[in-house]
Structure 1
Amino acid sequence: MNATNSQSPTIVLVHGALTDASVWHGVIRLTQAAGHHVVAPSLPLRGLASDAAYLASFLESVPGPIVLVAHSYAGSVISHPATLDPKVKALVFIAAFQPDAGESSAELNEKFPGSKLGPATTTVVPRPGGNDMYLKPEAFGEVYAGDVAPDVVSVMAAAQRPIDPAALGEPLPARATWHDLPSWALVSTRDLSLPPQLLGFTARRAGSHIVEVESSHAVPVSHPREVTEVVLEAVRCALS
């Protein structure tokens, strides 16, 4: 493994709903092997504003510069103006939401057809102070991880990190961060969680550098090398 380059930006990988930071394990191995410092915090997944506040607090502890990478719902979190830390030099959206002011994740996911996330495939469990939403284990492979090995799908389905569905309905309160930073977007063209048409629409609207990968929503797991290539392109931009 190469020694970590202290002059390189720190890569911060932020997971989305229904998974935890383990979704990034393959990307972490590859970015570390390339000599980069990488961290992957765990989001509470209790509300958009509270998740953004949590991430903003975490970013304060990270020495700059930073390349901020999000998967799935975390795209809404890194779009939140609370996370516009001056140390962040680039944003990377990996099969991720890119909302603008007034838009919610749930609203965007209904904008185009193709998502199989819904009452038929999810279950909501009450908890103190709110609710937790899970994908039904029998639906996890089809909806989230169609190109992942069945034994890995089984583990992912069993180890879900649930999200309060209220977080998905919470709108972005103001201008998105991607208006002010260079951004990259990976569009997973076989995605049955976030429709590829949605991912392409929001990426073009944001002026992101777009890369398409024939993948399910679990693209960090099934295609870590392609994801890493996009992240490292953003790192090179941050260094220039």
Structure 2
Amino acid sequence: MKTSLARFALSAALLGAACAAHAKPTVVLVHGAFADSSSWDGVIAKLEKDGYTVIGAANPLRSVKSDAASVASVVNSVTGPVVLVGHSYGGSVISAAAAGATNVKALVYVAAFAPDSGETAVGLSNKFPGSTLGPALAPPVALADGGKDLYIRQDKFHQQFAADVPAAKARLMAAGQRPITDAALNESAPAPAWKTIPSWFIYGKADKNIPAASQDFMAKRANARKTVVIDGASHVVMTSHPTEVATLIEEAAATVK
């Protein structure tokens, strides 16, 4: 009897170890400027259906340094490996947040900035022609601390930010957009994690916030494991093409041992 119990306990332990070894990584999604975590809804639905634990981290959109610290706190709370995903300005945030985070095993950039040390989001968006974000911005909102919050004009939001999203949905996104400080877009990036952590990129050819040429440049510079370019896709490619984005995230996750 004791021998049988011992064998059962050993088998259970080995099974538990095997299951832990094959457990899927947690996916942490970081939204960008003029958006919120609901922009990932379609991606989250696909990932959860496929058995992934997903966290939509709230990005404060105040400064690269403080936003990265906020996201790093979320990452540090996760037990086990993490695939860290950023959209737009969220790419700048994950590049900083993953530095020194030993459980981040893959970075996925979704129509996102992947700055090198000293670079800014504004500088990268203007590195190549094509961004029309500046003229689409509303007059800045003055903050009590002397800073400025930026919004996209609601009447420009659909064409500028989400041209391939149905108009009714784009109107809701425009009304609920999260502002970003002018300072955050002009803040120099620290040493980036993409130099040491494998990365994947996906973006749309019709992106009017970050030109496709800028994203191609960043993906090649980061030696991306894979880059997916979607014809006609807008800046919110994760909203308009959630299946393609989720598929790339799962490809990245599949490399995590």
Classify the TM-score, shorter chain.
over 0.9
Q: Distance in 2 between matches of 1:234 and 1:211?
A: 12
Match of 1:46 in 2: 62
Q: Is the 8 A contact 2:71 2:97 kept in 1?
A: no
Unaligned ranges ≥5, structure 2: 1-18
- Runs of 4 or more, structure 1, over 6 Å off, are none
Q: Which one-letter code corresponds to 2:80 in the other structure?
A: G
Paired residue secondary structure (1:67) = strand
Q: Paired residue for 2:121, among 86, 93, 105?
A: 105
Question: Paired residues, what number?
Answer: 234
Match of 1:143 in 2: 160
Report how far residue 122 of structure 1 moved.
3.4
* Cα distance per residue 1:63-91 (max 9 Å; x no partner): 12000000000100111166431000000
Q: Residues 1-150 of structure 1 correspond to what in structure 2 (within 5 A)?
A: 7-80=23-96, 83-129=99-145, 130-150=147-167
SS in structure 1 opposite 2:62?
A: coil
**Greater Cα shift, 110-119 or 87-96:** 110-119
**Corresponding letter in the other structure for 2:252:** A
User: Cα distance 1:60–1:212, how it changes in 2: closer, same or farther (>3 A)?
Assistant: same
Does residue 1:206 correspond to 2:222, yes or no? yes
**1:131 Cα shift?**
1.7
- Given that 1:144 and 1:216 are in contact with CA atoms closer than 8 Å, whether structure 2 keeps it comes out as yes
Q: TM-score, normalised by structure 2?
A: 0.88
| Matched ranges for 1:155-174 at <5 A | 155-173=172-190
Q: Distance in 2 between matches of 1:32 and 1:81?
A: 24
**2:247 corresponds to which of 226, 229, 232:** 229
Length-normalised TM-score, structure 1:
0.94
The equivalent residue for 1:218 is 236
Cα offset, 1:110, TM superposition: 0.9
Q: Which has the higher helix share?
A: 2
Matched residue type, 1:199: Q
8 A Cα contact 1:115 1:193, kept in partner: yes
What does the per-residue CA deviation read over 1:147-204, in whole Å, with 9 as the maximum and x for residues that have no partner? 000000000000010000100000112x210000110000211101110000001000
Contact 1:13 1:68 in 2 (8 A): yes
CA RMSD of aligned residues (A): 1.3
Report the residue type matching 1:228 in the other structure: A
Aligned-partner Cα distance in 1 for 2:250–2:143: 39
SS of corresponding position for 1:96 = coil
Q: CA deviation at 1:222?
A: 0.4
Partners of 2:210 and 2:178 lie apart in 1 by 18
Offset of 1:119 from its aligned partner?
3.9
Alpha-carbon distance, 1:121 to partner: 3.3
Largest Rg, 1 or 2: 2
Q: Could you list the runs of 5+ residues in structure 1 that have no partner in the other structure?
A: none
Please list the CA deviations of residues 94-139 of structure 1 after superposition, one character each: whole Å capped at 9, or x if unmatched.
0000100110111111101111110443331112222210000011
Change beyond 3 A, Cα 1:120–1:226 = closer
The residue identity in structure 1 corresponding to 2:124 is L
